[in-house]
Chains A and B, each alone.
Chain A
Amino acid sequence: MPKEILDKPFMSSQITTDDNDKPVYSPCRYECPIHTDVQRYIHLISNAKYEEAFETIRSVNPLPSTCSYICHHPCENACRRGKIDAPLAIRHLKRYAIQKATEYRKKNRLRPKQTNGKKVAIIGSGPSGLTVASDLADLGYGVTIYEKFSKLGGILALAIPTYRLPREALKEDIDDILAKGVETVLNCEVGKDISLKDLIAKYDTVVVATGLMKSRNLNIPGIDGQGVLLAIPFLIDVFSNDNREFKLGKRVVVIGGGNVAIDVARTAKRLGSDVEMVCLEAPDEMPAWSWEVDEATQEDIKINHRWAPKEIVRKDGIIEGLVVKRVTSVFDSNGRFNPEYDEHITDFISADTVIVSIGQTVDTTFLNDSPLIVDKQGKLVFNNHDYLSNHPKIFYSGEIVTGPGSAVSAIAHGHKVASSIHQRLNDSKTDLSFVEIDKIGDIPETVRNVIKARPRISISLLDTNIRKKTFIPVEIGYDDASALREAKRCRGCGGGAVVDIRKCMACMTCKRICPYDAPVVSFYSRIRQEYCQACGLCVSTCPSKAISMRGMDVESFRKDVIGLLSEKNSNIQTPPFLLYTCITQGLNPEIPQDIKVVSLDCLSRLDVLDIITPFNYAIRGVLLLPCNDDCKYHGVDYWLKMKVLHAKKILSSLSIPQDCIQIIFNNKSELSQNINDSSLNALIQRHKEGLQ
C-alpha cells in the first residue's frame, strides 16, 4: 500500500494525551487482516458520501468488490454490537457503498505512477498476486502478471461459484488494477511455456503467487475410475469454462467439510443433482463458515457429520455408493488435526458420483528449470520474515506459503510481500506494513445495559427454491433506507472522545454530562475508550475545548460548514436556511433549494458555536432536525434544547429574533420511519415558514 495511505492520521497529533490513552483500533478494524477503516466508511455511508466511503475501502483493498461479496468478514464477528443485539452487517454495507460508487469508480481509476525503472514479474493472478501487482504499480514499478489460465483472478475467476461472486464484481476490481499500468501475459504457465530462469533474466524481481490450485485426492478402494471428480477441476469446468450443462449423476456425494466442499455441493445442487456431504467434523468443528453451511442446508443439502470415507463401491465399474466409517475424534489433545476412527461402525450412502474436496495443494510446475529448491520434506524454502525464497530475486506470496485461508488474508499477505520487495529493491528501511496497534476492550456491562437494542437489518436472500436452480447471486443487496438504518447502528468504537491533558482543568463537566460514565477525572479527565460511545456530548460542552474526537475532525467539519455557507447560488434570490440533521439528506433530493443541509452522525456533537457561527453569513435561520425517537444515544434531545436556549440568549444580545433557531421535532406521529417520505419536506417547510 502506498506510503501516503499509511500516513493517514489516526487522530490529530496536535494534542497531548494521557499515556494510557493510546489510540486503539475498533474491533472491526483490528480483526480485518488489512485493517480496513470500517468505522470510517460506515460513517460516510450514513452521510451518503459513497465515493469517499469507496475510497476508504480501496485505500487498503485492491479487490473491494470481490471482498464485498465473499469476505468471511472477521470484522463482523468482532463487532461490539454483537454483545448488545447483533453485529453490524459490515460486508453488506461495504457492497452497498461500492455499488453506489460504481460510476465514480469507472471514471476515477487510479492511473500509472511515474515509473521507477524497476520491473517485477508476478506469477499467478489470485488475490495475493493481484495485490502485489497493485501495490508495486502504486509505487512506480513496471509490473507484469503471468497467468496460466485465460482470465485474471485465479481461484476467484476460475472456481468461486458465480452465485457467490458475480464476475462483473471481480472485473471491476481487475480493471482498477490494470488501469494502473499492470501488464499481463495470459495462457502462459511458468515451468512449461516459460521458465523461472527466463523471468529472472528479464525482471528485477519475480513473485511466485500461484496459490493452492491442485486438489488433494483420497487413497481408498474404488477411488480410481469414472464417477469420481476432484473439487477444483470440477469448479473450474463449471465456472470458468461456463459448462452449466455439466452432466453429474443423480446422486452426488461430496467428501469434505471446508468452504470449497460447500461450494462444490451447492454447485452440484444447482446442476440438478441430489447432494449429500460427508465430513469428518461435527457441525461446530467444520472448517467451513457457519453461514455457508446454513445456506447449504437451506438448499436441502444433507450433511453427514463425523463420518470418514472408507470405500467407493462399484458394480461393473459404475459407482453404487460410498461406505463410510465412524469418526471418534478429529483433533488430538493438542488441538492438532489427527482423526481417529471406529472401523466397525459403518454406513452406506448410495451415490453415482463422488466429488473429493479435502483440501488443495501446491502445483509445483513452476519449479521446472528454476533455481528454487525444496527441503527434504519437499517443502518450499523461504524466509519467514520477508518471504524471499532461496534465490535473491524470487519471492513467494499468498497461500503457497501461508496455507489455505481467506481472500482477504491473501490480500494482506500480498501487501506484506510488496512491502518486502520495495524494501529490498530500494535498499530502503521504510517499513510499509500496517501499523499494528491495540484494539479497544469489550463494552462494559454497565454500558451495554444502557444501549438501546436495535435489530440488525439483514439483506434478503434469493428464495431457496429459486436459488437451487440458478447461478445468480444468492444475496440481494440493500435498498437505500435499509442501508442507512443499518449504518446508523455503528457505535463508533474507538472513535470517541479524547482529552488534551494540557488544556483539561478537571472541571468535571464531561463526567457529569456523559451518559455512559466514560470519563474518570483526577488531575485531568481521561475518557475510558471502552466506555465511550462517541456521542460527542462532552466534546461540545467542554469549556476549555480540551476534548476532541478520534472519529471526527470537528475543526474541518466547521470549515466545511463555513464553505457551504460561503457558496454563492445564483438560483436563490433570498438568503438560505441552514439545516443540521442526523437523518441523512443525501436520500432526499427534494429538499428545497434554499435550505443548505449539513448532516452529521448525531446532533449531540453540535456545539452552541455551530449554531451561532452561521449567523456570520447571510442566512435566514438555523434548523435542527434530530432523529429523535430513533436516536441511538442518550439525553441528546435534552442537551440539544439546552444548547439552543443558550444560543438564543446569546443571539438576543445581537437583536437577532429568537425564532431564527428551530428544532424540528419529528416523532413517529409526525414523520414516518421512511425518511424518503415527503412528510419530512412538509415538516421542514412548515418550520421554515414559521421563521419568515
Chain B
Amino acid sequence: MIVGEQKPFEEIWNMIRQYRRVLVLGCNTCVAVCHSGGEKEAHILSEVIQIKASSTDTSIEVNHMGLVRQCENEYIDDAIHNLQTYEAILSLACGVGVNFLSQKIGSIPVLPGLNTTFYGSVEEAGVFAEMCVGCGDCILHLTGGICPIARCPKSIMNGPCGGTNNGKCEIGVDTDCAWYLIIQRMKALGILHLLEEIQPPRDWSKSFHGGPRRMFVSHVMLNKREDANK
C-alpha cells in the first residue's frame, strides 16, 4: 500500500492562498488507509483552510470530496465536470494521483497536499512501515523475505555493514538492521547457505534508474482489439 503524510499546513496554505475557489480532493484507497488523504481528512483540511482564511481575511471558497482512486480514468471521468469548476485542486492522493489528475484535468493546477512516502505495511493500528521500493528485480527469495534494498539505508546486497549494532542500524536505535534480520531469518529457515552463492550484479535498469516504467498487459488492452480481429 502507498503511504503518505499530509504536508505541513503552512506549506499547503502557501500553495492555495492565491486561489479563490479550491477543492480539497480525497483519495479513498491507499492514503485513506493511512488516515492521511481519505475523504474524511479532506473534509477536516477544508475546515482548517476555512479557519485560516477567515483569520487572515482571505476570501477562499473551499469544498471537499473524495474519489475512490485518483489514478484511474473512470473514477475521475465521473467527477470531471465538477472538478473543472474549481480554480485549483488540492489533491490528497499520493503523487501518482496528483500526476494522473494533472494530466487529465486541463488547465487547472492540481496541488499536492501529501508527501508520498513509501510502500508500506500496517504494522498495527496507526503504525505504517516501509518494506519495498519497487526496484523491479525482486530478490526476496534470496534474503529470507526481508528486503535489503528497502530496509537497509545503504541498500547493500552483502551486509551487514560495520554500522550494525546489536541488531540495530547506525542511523538510529528505532531502525532495525535489515541484514541482521535477514541472517536471523535465514538461519531460522535453514537457508543461510544461500548467502554463500555468488550473485550476478543487479540490473538496476529495471528500477527507476532505467527511466519511468510502463507495463503493458495486452490481453486486457482495449486498443489491441483491432489487431486481434485481423
Chain A: residues with CB nearer than 8 A to chain B?
502-503, 505, 507-509, 512-513, 542-546, 607-609, 612-613, 615-616, 650, 653-654, 656
B35 near A612 with CB under 8 A, answer: no
Instruction: Choose one: B32, B48, B54; the contact of A507 (CB below 8 Å).
Output: B32
B38 near A545 with CB under 8 A, answer: yes
Q: Does B60 contact A (CB under 8 A)?
A: no
Find residues 12-47 in chain B having any chain A CB closer than 8 Å to their own CB: 26, 28-29, 32-33, 35, 38-41, 43-44, 47
A544 near B122 with CB under 8 A, answer: no
6 A-B pairs whose Cβ atoms sit less than 8 Å apart in the complex: A503-B39, A507-B32, A612-B51, A613-B47, A650-B9, A654-B52
A654 near B32 with CB under 8 A, answer: no
Q: B190 → chain A, closest Cβ, in Å?
A: 34
Alpha-carbon distance between A502 and B68 when the two chains are bound, in angstroms: 8
**Given A505-B28, A512-B125, A544-B38, is A654 in contact with B33 using a C-beta cutoff of 8 Å?**
no
CB-nearest residue of chain B relative to A507? B33
Contacts of B40 in A (CB 8 A): 542-545, 607, 609
Q: A519 → chain B, closest Cβ, in Å?
A: 13
**Given A615-B51, A616-B51, A653-B9, is A545 in contact with B44 using a C-beta cutoff of 8 Å?**
no
Find residues 60-85 in chain B having any chain A CB closer than 8 Å to their own CB: 66, 68
A616 near B32 with CB under 8 A, answer: no
Q: Does B116 contact A (CB under 8 A)?
A: no
Find residues 174-202 in chain B having any chain A CB closer than 8 Å to their own CB: none
User: Helix, strand, loop or mixed for chain A's interface?
Assistant: loop
Contacts of B26 in A (CB 8 A): 544
Q: A613 → chain B, closest Cβ, in Å?
A: 5
Alpha-carbon distance between A607 and B122 when the two chains are bound, in angstroms: 23
Alpha-carbon distance between A513 and B51 when the two chains are bound, in angstroms: 30
Q: B216 → chain A, closest Cβ, in Å?
A: 27
Q: A285 → chain B, closest Cβ, in Å?
A: 55
A612 near B33 with CB under 8 A, answer: no
Alpha-carbon distance between A279 and B12 when the two chains are bound, in angstroms: 82
CB-nearest residue of chain A relative to B64? A545
Contacts of B55 in A (CB 8 A): 654
A505 near B51 with CB under 8 A, answer: no
A505 near B52 with CB under 8 A, answer: no
Alpha-carbon distance between A503 and B68 when the two chains are bound, in angstroms: 7
Alpha-carbon distance between A338 and B46 when the two chains are bound, in angstroms: 73
Q: Does B50 contact A (CB under 8 A)?
A: yes
User: Helix, strand, loop or mixed for chain B's interface?
Assistant: helix
13 additional A-B pairs beyond A509-B35, A544-B28, beta carbons within 8 Å, are A503-B66, A505-B32, A507-B33, A545-B38, A545-B39, A545-B43, A546-B28, A612-B51, A650-B9, A653-B8, A654-B9, A654-B48, A654-B55
Alpha-carbon distance between A524 and B22 when the two chains are bound, in angstroms: 31
Q: Does B57 contact A (CB under 8 A)?
A: no
A612 near B47 with CB under 8 A, answer: yes
A653 near B10 with CB under 8 A, answer: yes
Which of A507, A542, A607 has the most B CB atoms < 10 Å from its CB? A507
Q: B37 → chain A, closest Cβ, in Å?
A: 8
A654 near B51 with CB under 8 A, answer: yes
Instruction: Choose one: B28, B41, B50; the contact of A503 (CB below 8 Å).
Output: B28
Alpha-carbon distance between A543 and B38 when the two chains are bound, in angstroms: 5
Q: B125 → chain A, closest Cβ, in Å?
A: 5
A612 near B41 with CB under 8 A, answer: no
Alpha-carbon distance between A615 and B35 when the two chains are bound, in angstroms: 22
Alpha-carbon distance between A512 and B127 when the two chains are bound, in angstroms: 13
Alpha-carbon distance between A142 and B33 when the two chains are bound, in angstroms: 61
CB-nearest residue of chain A relative to B1? A507
Q: B98 → chain A, closest Cβ, in Å?
A: 19
Contacts of A513 in B (CB 8 A): 125
Alpha-carbon distance between A186 and B37 when the two chains are bound, in angstroms: 70
CB-nearest residue of chain B relative to A618? B54
**Given A653-B9, A654-B9, is A616 in contact with B66 using a C-beta cutoff of 8 Å?**
no
Instruction: Give 9 nearest A-B pairs by CB, closest first.
Output: A653-B9, A543-B38, A544-B28, A507-B33, A543-B32, A544-B38, A512-B125, A545-B39, A544-B32
Contacts of A505 in B (CB 8 A): 28-29, 32-33, 68
Contacts of B39 in A (CB 8 A): 503, 543-545
A616 near B47 with CB under 8 A, answer: yes
CB-nearest residue of chain B relative to A647? B44
Q: A302 → chain B, closest Cβ, in Å?
A: 64
**Given A503-B39, A609-B43, A653-B10, is A545 in contact with B51 using a C-beta cutoff of 8 Å?**
no
Contacts of B9 in A (CB 8 A): 650, 653-654
B33 near A608 with CB under 8 A, answer: no
Alpha-carbon distance between A507 and B3 when the two chains are bound, in angstroms: 13
Q: B55 → chain A, closest Cβ, in Å?
A: 7
Alpha-carbon distance between A171 and B26 when the two chains are bound, in angstroms: 57
Instruction: Choose one: A543, A546, A609, A613; the contact of B35 (CB below 8 Å).
Output: A543
A545 near B66 with CB under 8 A, answer: yes
